[in-house]
Structure 1
Amino acid sequence: MAEQLQALEALKGDAGLKKEIEFETKLRGLLDQYGFSLKHIINLLDPQSSKRPQMSTEPPGTRKPRQLKIYKNPHTGEVVETKGGNHKTLKEWKIKHGSDVVEGWLSK
């Protein structure tokens, strides 16, 4: 805690930080005085900034839904509909007949 207070005191005496704070305060005052925002300043300094592609609006970690797959066992006529590979019957078929064979049963 004492180290943090010492670091804070050192920052208070930093001339560079004082100049930065003074600049920001004056800049915000000018923006308010003339009715501009930081976006206006960014567009003045970098006109291409608004033409850059925006980030995807889709939240990270979201993916498109899986497609439904339909497998038909030619030996029994049994049909399995699944969106993933974790289906109990499908796993049993793959153990019994082999994964490559069962994937061949996929209806198109």
Structure 2
Amino acid sequence: MSRLAEFRAAEKALKEQLAQLESMKQDSGLKREIEFEKKLLDLMKGYDKGLREIIAILDPKVTGKAPAAAAKQHRRPRVMKVYENPHNGEMIETKGGNHRGLKAWKEQYGGDTVETWLRS
């Protein structure tokens, strides 16, 4: 696309957005929302309160449920993995990748190779 065509397309898009903005400015519902927001922010500033404090005042259940819900979440138990070294037949059972012997194997043979030794 030439720069002139790109400019014209951008200019057209800008005109369309300006027209949309003007129609939104005439919307009485939007005007009421803007007025409400301004009055609410002035009121919050006058009483030196933040949004979280306002929510806690209006609906204390919302702020009370968040920590309780987070505490009830349980971590899924880790799956036991069994690796068998084909060179010496040694087996390692682990639930994580932090096993000393497994780390030694990965250092010696490479991580990708050791992962192929996974049995279950």
TM-score, with normalisation over the residues of structure 2? 0.51
Q: Which residue of 2 aligns with 1:88?
A: 113
Q: In the aligned structure 2, how far is the partner of 1:89 from the partner of 1:29?
A: 64
Find 1:8's aligned residue among 7, 15, 21: 21
C-alpha change, 1:70 and 1:12, in structure 2 (3 Å) is same
Q: Which residue of 2 aligns with 1:44?
A: 57
Find 2:46's aligned residue among 33, 50, 54: 33
Q: In the aligned structure 2, how far is the partner of 1:5 from the partner of 1:89?
A: 62
The answer to whether residue 32 in structure 2 is matched with residue 19 in structure 1 is yes
Q: Which residue of 1 aligns with 2:88?
A: 77
Structural mapping, 1:51-70, within 5 Å:
51-53=64-66, 70=83
More helix by share: 2
Q: CA RMSD in A?
A: 3.6
Deviation beyond 4 Å, 4+ runs, structure 1? 66-69
TM-score, with normalisation over the residues of structure 1? 0.56
Aligned residues: 83
Q: In the aligned structure 2, how far is the partner of 1:46 from the partner of 1:34?
A: 18
**In the TM superposition, what is the alpha-carbon distance from 1:71 to its structure 2 partner?**
1.5
Q: Which residue of 2 aligns with 1:61?
A: none
3-state secondary structure, aligned to 1:87: helix
Unaligned runs of 5+ in 1: 57-65, 94-101
Instruction: State the one-letter code of the partner of 1:87.
Output: D
**In the TM superposition, what is the alpha-carbon distance from 1:37 to its structure 2 partner?**
1.4
Q: What is the percentage of aligned positions where both structures have the same residue? A: 33
Deviations 1:53-84 (A, max 9, x none): 3587xxxxxxxxx98854233xx52558368x
Instruction: State the one-letter code of the partner of 1:22.
Output: E
Unaligned runs of 5+ in 2: 1-12, 71-78, 92-101
